[in-house]
Amino acid sequence: MNIFKQNKTDEHLFSRSGNQGMSKIDRYGWSRENLSWGEYLFIAKDKLNIDDRYQRNTSGKQRIHFIARNFDAVLFQALIVARRSDGSYWVIEGGHRARAAMMRSDIKEVPCIVHEICNITEEAKKFLGINKIKTIVNSIDTFRAKLGTGDDITVKANTLIEELGYSVSTSSGRGFFKAVSTLCAYIEKDYETAKKAMVICRELYRGETISGSVLRAIFMVGYTFREYDLLTDKNVIEKILKEGPIGIERAIRAEKYQVGMGGEIVEAKALLKIINHRKSSHKLKWPNTSID
């Protein structure tokens, strides 16, 4: 059976009264853009470039070495490549495979499907789109890809991260920041509160990797009680710093265990108990919620 012919027939068979002969594409307004399949070429591997501004970093070295060591042309598949206006070739999809091929002296050319894409912003969008379709992209890869597209929230987040002496990484340790999804969500919600929370977190962790749960707790307390501007209150900041990251993380785990659930509100309520500790009056009360 000719599958493509059958699919074409099925498209026109699908109809309702009053819409006889109308295709699904017309009926539902499916996109007619981006229908070019590109050009199939074998390209010398030394002509291929990988743009680290949006591509995954090389943290998957084991995977690259595995592909190189067990190279199989059938499994390799064609790389998706952009041809920029200057004629240079840039790998959009297949970075690990491209790097593996570059490690082998017996491979000179690799199969590629080439599309005319004029700028890095469009390349980054295609990279993100392909990987969202194929697999679950981790938050760091998504962040890097969005940064390549010039996404406003992502750019703001990256600028703030770098201003505070951090760099985005999947690794933990001094100077590394991982909670990018959390930070981007909060920057979109309230940039000033997100910035204040990050400043406190940097001081709290002394430049070490910031816990996402603690960042969420500090932001949500600051955001919920923003009329009091808690995140600039010296007494509040002093209590947070005195408790330390270990103490706050322990309090969050205890609160989650007590209420039997997690989430940013539970994390924030744990921090609020620390802030209220030893207060005889003017204790802050969390607004009524479904988990009170």
CATH number of the domain bearing residue 72: 3.90.1530.10
- Integer Cα distance of 255 and 175 in angstroms: 29
Do 48 and 116 fall within a single domain? yes
285 within some domain: no
Same domain, residue pair 114 and 181: no
Task: Looking at the structure, tell me whether residues 159 and 236 fall in a common domain.
Answer: yes
Q: Is 108 part of any domain?
A: yes
In this structure, the answer to whether residues 159 and 264 fall within a common structural domain is: yes
Domain interval for residue 117: 39-135
The pLDDT score that the predictor gives to residue 23 is 81
What is the total count of domains within the chain? Answer: 2
pTM tops 0.75, yes or no: no
Q: What is the pLDDT along the chain (292 residues), one digit of tens a residue?
A: 444 444 444 444 444 445 566 788 788 788 777 777 889 999 999 999 988 776 655 556 888 899 999 999 888 989 989 898 889 999 888 888 999 999 999 999 999 999 988 777 777 777 777 666 555 557 888 888 888 888 999 999 999 999 999 999 888 899 999 999 999 999 999 999 999 999 999 999 999 999 999 999 999 999 999 999 999 999 999 999 999 999 999 999 999 999 888 899 999 999 999 999 887 778 889 887 533 3
CA 47 – CA 215 distance, rounded (Å)? 44
| The pLDDT of residue 238 | 95
β-strands 39-44, 48-49: how paired?
unpaired
The position carrying tokens 């067990």 is: 70
Structure confidence at residue 20 (pLDDT): 60
Do residues 214 and 201 lie in contact, with contact meaning Cβ atoms separated by under 8 Å? yes
Residues 43 and 85 in one domain: yes
Q: Of 135, 165, 186, which residue is a domain's last?
A: 135
Last-in-domain residue among 77, 102, 135: 135
For residue 11, being part of any structural domain is answered with: no
Give every CB contact of residue 161 below 8 A, 6+ residues apart in sequence. Answer: 167, 168, 177, 180, 183, 198
Do residue 186 and residue 249 come from a single domain?
yes
197 shares its domain with 85:
no
Is 269 within the bounds of a domain?
Answer: yes
**Residue at which a domain ends, from 87, 102, 135:** 135
Q: Is 230 within the bounds of a domain?
A: yes
In a domain, 209, yes or no: yes
Q: Assess whether 182 and 271 both reside in one domain.
A: yes
